[in-house]
Structure 1
Amino acid sequence: MQRSAADLRPMTMRQPSFYIPHGGGPCFFMDDPAGTWTGMEAFLRGLPGRLPERPGAILIVSGHWETEGFRFSASPRPPLIFDYYGFPPHTYDLRWPAPGDPALAERAAGLLRTAGFPAATDPDRGIDHGVFVPLKVAFPDADIPVVEMSLDRDLDPVAAWRAGRALRPLRDEGVLILGAGMSFHNLPAYRNRQATEPSMAFDDWLAEAVEGDPAGREARLARWVNAPAARFAHPREEHLLPLMVAAGASDGPGSRVYGEVVMDTMISGFRFD
């Protein structure tokens, strides 16, 4: 039976939060003779096995939705938004009919408003490919309610982190909080071997920032632009900021749980307990 946010109760095990890679467009649902996406797909497919129990709902932040203030999708049946271009026709026929959860959307928006952030629900918003593509791999049955969260278009890393902190109570209510992006997101640099070394330098810094003392994590991540090759890795930071939300949603240890060179660049995923 589908559970709404109003029905969620504290559970025996707190859900972790994750920052996951969403891949390139509909990559996991295309021919891949070179095995470019095999490792990432395996990581996503194994995500449910890393959880203490089946989540009652998923709240996921996408790097593909920016708004004034924060917004939460509140459609009970969110449509898919095919916001990728130039891919094979069959990739525009993908289906992943996960239900929405309007009550969870309002609960999350309320937590952010209480914390001083402008936040609202959007009853018409669907879920974009930064959400449905990785979740179709991880949760193919599409039977867990999903709410998508936007990024504030100011792209302030501290605000994103603190928004995550405001959402922490949801983890004790059976909600899995995910940030979906790419830890390296410089499209012209993909498939360029000269990008490998600087991408690794940034990734090493990112892993150190995540895995260090949780008490100092906000300050470290807030200074991400000072990291080695930071603006090479992220000319624009919308694909990194979902990490800030996932990190802010936890005061526990962080760890790199996925790391692989993909298209000649280092891509990682992180867990926060």
Structure 2
Amino acid sequence: MSNRLPVYFISHGSPMLALGAGRFGDAWAKITEEIETPKAILMISAHWTTVAPVVSAAEKPETIHDFGGFPRALFEVQYPTVGAPWLAERVADLLQSANWPVAIHPDRGLDHGAWVPLQEMYPMGEIPVAQLSIQPRQDPAYHYRLGKLLAPLREEGVLILASGSITHNLGDIHWHRDHDDNFSEAWATEFQSWVSDQLLAGQTDAMLQYRANAPHAHYAHPHDDHFMPLYVTMGAGDGEQVDRLFDGTMLGTLAMDVYRFGGVN
């Protein structure tokens, strides 16, 4: 594959989307319509956190149901796919060449931040997947640099796909609302709009200091984990066009934006 693939950030929302993703699933599926079929996918999910980077090399990744309190039907969902041990080795080489500590996990599966959107994008599980952890003890600048180290994969037919959330405050979620209800708390909308404004204008410095600059940052992200995958995509797509492919909200406070870094042919 000679064309350079774009990089994508998706907001994965509630695990319940695995039982019917609706408009969010449609937005994820559209990604596959605008790009060539990738050789493999490197998934960076907010739900695998480690002290230093770890990349999965499972040949047949299990479907990890890393949640509780949901209907039994959700725990019965499986996403049978194939792994990409060769991609794990390539990621490790890229990080090691920059003197970053990195480990390979031989059999770690895919958490719901990975398989919920992937089952909408590639429902047959035909694209090999490796997953890379994030480091929530590290700051946005660290994850931005991590993305820059991964950028060469784009020339090698690898789709870099990061999964997190533009806003993620579980304490303020309106669980009683329907997933198709686009109601949003004012603080979530203001934060969501600020992020969009910065990304589309290329304001990287402002984004790297989002806690000091963004409105309601402490409400939008009591913890950094679900926001850090966005910085990986920013780094991997550094200096290229940014497009907001989808904006919407579910459960009152979860902003579900999808961003593309880099153009499509």
**Counterpart position of 1:211:** 200
Q: 1:41 corresponds to which residue? A: 25
Aligned match of 1:224 = 210
Which 4+ stretches in 1 moved above 3 angstroms? 192-195
Q: Which runs of structure 2 are paired with 1:175-186 in the superposition (5 Å)?
A: 175-186=158-169
Residue in structure 2 matched with residue 99 of structure 1 by the alignment = 82
Aligned partner of 2:246 among 221, 241, 258:
258
Q: How does 1:6-25 map to 2 (within 5 A)?
A: 11-25=1-15
Q: C-alpha distance in 1, partners of 2:244/2:88? A: 29
Q: 191, 209, 229: which is aligned to 1:242?
A: 229
Query: Given the alignment of the two structures, is residue 201 of structure 1 paired with residue 187 of structure 2, yes or no?
Result: no
Quick one: distance in 2 between partners of 1:38 and 1:254?
25
Contact 2:13/2:250 (<8 A) preserved: no
- Structure 2 distance, partners of 1:204, 1:153, is 24
Deviation at 1:195, TM superposition (A): 6.0
Q: Which amino acid aligns with 1:264?
A: G
Shift of the alpha carbon at 1:41? 1.6
Structure 2 residue 97 is the aligned partner of structure 1 residue 114? yes
| Residue pair 1:181, 1:240 contacting (<8 A) in 2 also | yes
Instruction: Tell me which moved more, 91-100 or 190-199.
Output: 190-199
SS in 2 for 1:238: coil
Q: TM-score scaled to structure 1, two decimals?
A: 0.88
Once the two structures are TM-superposed, the CA of residue 190 in structure 1 deviates from its matched residue by: 1.8
Identity %: 35
Note the alpha carbon deviations across 1:18-66, whole angstroms, 9 max, x for none: 1101120132315xxxxxx522121112220122x11110001010111
Q: 1:26 corresponds to which residue?
A: 16
Whole-Å separation in 1 of the counterparts to 2:85 and 2:136:
23
Cα distance in 2 between the residues matched to 1:153 and 1:264: 25
Letter in 1 for 2:216: A
The CA distance in 2 between the partners of 1:50 and 1:183, in whole Å, is 23
Aligned partner of residue 83 in structure 2, secondary structure: coil
Q: Give me the whole-angstrom Cα distance separating, in 1, the residues matched to 2:69 and 2:44.
A: 25
Output the CA distance in 1 between the equivalents of 2:102 and 2:86: 14
Q: Please tell me whether residue 130 in structure 1 is matched to residue 101 in structure 2.
A: no
Instruction: Tell me the amino acid that sits aligned with residue 47 of structure 2.
Output: H
For 1:175-226, what per-residue CA distance to the aligned partner results, in whole angstroms no more than 9, with x for missing partners? 000110111100121229996211111111111221123xx52x22210112
Give the letter aligned to residue 23 of structure 1.
G
- After superposition, where does 1:58-69 map in structure 2 within 5 Å? 58-69=41-52
Count of equivalent residues: 253
The answer to whether the 8 A contact 2:246-2:257 is kept is: yes
**243-252 or 153-162: bigger deviation:** 153-162
User: What TM-score, normalized by structure 2, do the two folds share?
Assistant: 0.91
SS of equivalent to 1:177: strand
In structure 2, what is the Cα distance between the partners aligned to 1:236 and 1:153?
A: 8
How far has the Cα of 1:81 moved from its partner? 1.0
Structure 2 unmatched runs, 5+:
178-182
